[in-house]
Amino acid sequence: MNVNEFDYELPEELIAQDPIEDRSASRLMLLDKDTGEIRHRIFRDITEELRPGDCLVLNNTKVIPARLYGTKAGTGASIEVLLLKRRDNDVWETLVKPGKKCRTGTRITFGDGVLQGEVVGIVDEGNRLIRFEYEGIFEEVLDRLGEMPLPPYITHKLKDQTRYQTVYAKYEGSAAAPTAGLHFTKELLGKIRAMGVEIAEVTLHVGLGTFRPVKVETVEEHHMHSEFYIIDETASEIINRTKKRGGRVIAVGTTSCRTIESAALADGTVPVKSGWTDIFIYPGYRFKVLDALITNFHLPKSTLIMLVSALAGREHVLAAYKEAVRERYRFFSFGDAMFIGSFKETEQIRRIRHYEALLTEAAAALKEARDPAGTVTSIAPAVRELEAYYGSEQWKKDFADDEAGLLPKDLKRGVLSEDAVYNLLEEYGELRKTIS
């Protein structure tokens, strides 16, 4: 595949420069991955698209103030350092600008000498290994001197540093935020939990891959940089329980997606696991555990738009992006969101709706019953269907799923009560006796 197949035109003014005041008030595009159908909503209304028994997978990594500005010892030249990956206690792999000025042995001073660094090596693609020297705790020094590493397409100064963190961020280590999670508020997550959706938290520390463009012409030739991830016992149990019960595993962001797909076994189960992953997901990839994805709109020709295309199909994705441009959606890190999944009704939901309609129709006819003989004749087919369904294995499964809270809350399901069909059959029998 040619990288240019994932290109699209984006007016510069649609690149979001600032977060909106209410995280959950961003726009939400629903994209059916099977049909390409598109709908438009507000993010907080995502509760209407989730189902009891679903599972959201969140990446609880925390962004560190990883951008440092220093001066080169001896010349005073300005140096920008972006921390990418901790290699050892005080040795970090970094992205340095300008890199040519920082050969091995170069010393850099930050914050009037509070923090000192020495380039001790050069690794893949020119990244520098820097050993830092300081007094006290490195993270506290970093909090004083560092800045949030906003992507290069954001030119505005971030007024509130917490807006580049998710509300559930816990473990420090990322050079970039898992931005799909920026749309959630604590209140929204509370509503989602209350409706019977489970939440699994995994950790993937976002590194260089977020910033690195695809420089090759052929997709298959691109190599992803590795990132560290953790899936603990609780997350593993929630995800596997969801799959076993027939619920959907919905990743919040491409980092959560890459985490669970990296660890998943061939049968779709997700074990307790930690390690490094360089998984590259592009069209042709077969997802082992993911069912749906909440994500932002991504850069043209990026690995992230390739991942999204693996889930929904390149044609569907590019058509959705074209509509997003037409509808003036906001793009990238501080922009709007997509929910990509299969939104058609399941066979179970269609079945329950069908029998519920039969029950409603028959019950209304019996209530009127001005012409007993005519009523018996007209509703006989519906009664036969309901009688066959009631007590069948299908009914028992639907009833059990309802008791377990696995059906949508807004689904009418009087047909699943233990008395509704039984009472209707009794009334129907009594009416037949009157015309015998």
Q: Are 47 and 180 members of one domain?
A: yes
Share of the chain above pLDDT 90, in %: 82
Residue 19 in domain: yes
Residue 61: the pLDDT is 98
- The three-class DSSP label of residue 428 is helix
Residue 435: the pLDDT is 84
Residue 139 in domain: yes
Domain boundary among 145, 173, 193: 145
Q: Which residue has the tokens 């995502």?
A: 46
Q: Are 118 and 58 members of one domain?
A: no
Q: Are 279 and 411 members of one domain?
A: no
Q: Which residue has the tokens 């959706």?
A: 197
In this predicted model, what pLDDT tens digit does every residue of 193-215 receive, in sequence order? 998 899 999 999 998 666 678 99
Domain total of the chain:
3
Whether the pLDDT of residue 28 is over 70: the answer is yes
Range 178-197 burial, b when 16+ CB lie within 10 A, else e: bbbbbbbeeebbeebeebbb
Share the mean pLDDT of the chain: 93
In this predicted model, what pLDDT tens digit does every residue of 297-324 receive, in sequence order? 999 999 999 999 999 999 999 999 999 9
> What average pLDDT score do residues 360-364 get?
92
Measure the CA–CA gap between 194 and 230, rounded to whole angstroms: 26
Domain boundary among 288, 317, 341: 341
Per DSSP (E only), the strands in 232-272 are 249-252
Q: Which residue has the tokens 């799959």?
A: 243
> What average pLDDT score do residues 271-275 get?
98
CATH number at residue 87: 2.40.10.240
Give the residue among 203, 223, 202, 220 at the shortest CA–CA distance from 212. Answer: 223
CATH number at residue 199: 3.40.1780.10
- Biggest distance spanned by C-alpha atoms of the chain: 109
Measure the CA–CA gap between 314 and 309, rounded to whole angstroms: 5
Whether the pLDDT of residue 140 is over 80: the answer is yes
Ordered strands of the 38-42 beta sheet: 38-42, 27-32, 337-341, 292-296, 249-252, 55-59, 198-204, 227-231, 273-277
Looking at residue 168, the DSSP 8-state letter turns out to be T
Residue 120, domain extent: 67-145
Contact (Cβ atoms closer than 8 angstroms) between residue 17 and residue 206: no
Q: How confident is the model at residue 410 (pLDDT cuts 50, 70, 90)?
A: low
Give the residue among 313, 365, 366, 369 at the shortest CA–CA distance from 342. Answer: 313
Residue 151 in domain: no
Residue 407: the pLDDT is 80
Q: How confident is the model at residue 125 (pLDDT cuts 50, 70, 90)?
A: confident
Q: Are 201 and 112 members of one domain?
A: no
Domain boundary among 304, 322, 341: 341
Residue 210: the pLDDT is 62
Q: Are 388 and 405 members of one domain?
A: yes
Residue 123 in domain: yes
Residue 245: the pLDDT is 83
Q: Are 128 and 185 members of one domain?
A: no
Q: Are 241 and 106 members of one domain?
A: no
Give the residue among 96, 126, 88, 132 at the shortest CA–CA distance from 114. Answer: 132
Q: Are 272 and 320 members of one domain?
A: yes
Residue 24 in domain: yes
Measure the CA–CA gap between 346 and 343, rounded to whole angstroms: 9
Give the relative orientation of helices 372-389 and 347-368 as an angle to the nearest 10 degrees: 150
Q: Are 132 and 164 members of one domain?
A: no
Whether the pLDDT of residue 345 is over 80: the answer is no
Measured in residues, the chain has a length of 436
Looking at residue 317, the DSSP 8-state letter turns out to be H
**Hey, which of 198-202, 387-391, 394-398 has the most confident mean pLDDT?**
198-202
Residue 211: the pLDDT is 60
Give the residue among 396, 400, 389 at the shortest CA–CA distance from 362. Answer: 389
Q: Are 107 and 180 members of one domain?
A: no
Q: How confident is the model at residue 174 (pLDDT cuts 50, 70, 90)?
A: very high
Measure the CA–CA gap between 319 and 308, rounded to whole angstroms: 13
Measure the CA–CA gap between 6 and 36, rounded to whole angstroms: 17
In this predicted model, what pLDDT tens digit does every residue of 226-238 receive, in sequence order? 899 999 999 999 9
Measure the CA–CA gap between 277 and 112, rounded to whole angstroms: 37
Q: How confident is the model at residue 100 (pLDDT cuts 50, 70, 90)?
A: confident
In this predicted model, what pLDDT tens digit does every residue of 154-164 receive, in sequence order? 999 898 989 99
Q: Are 101 and 164 members of one domain?
A: no
Residue 247: the pLDDT is 87
Helix (H) or strand (E) holding 230: strand 227-231
Q: Are 222 and 191 members of one domain?
A: yes
Residue 152 in domain: no
- For the whole model, what pTM was predicted? 0.79
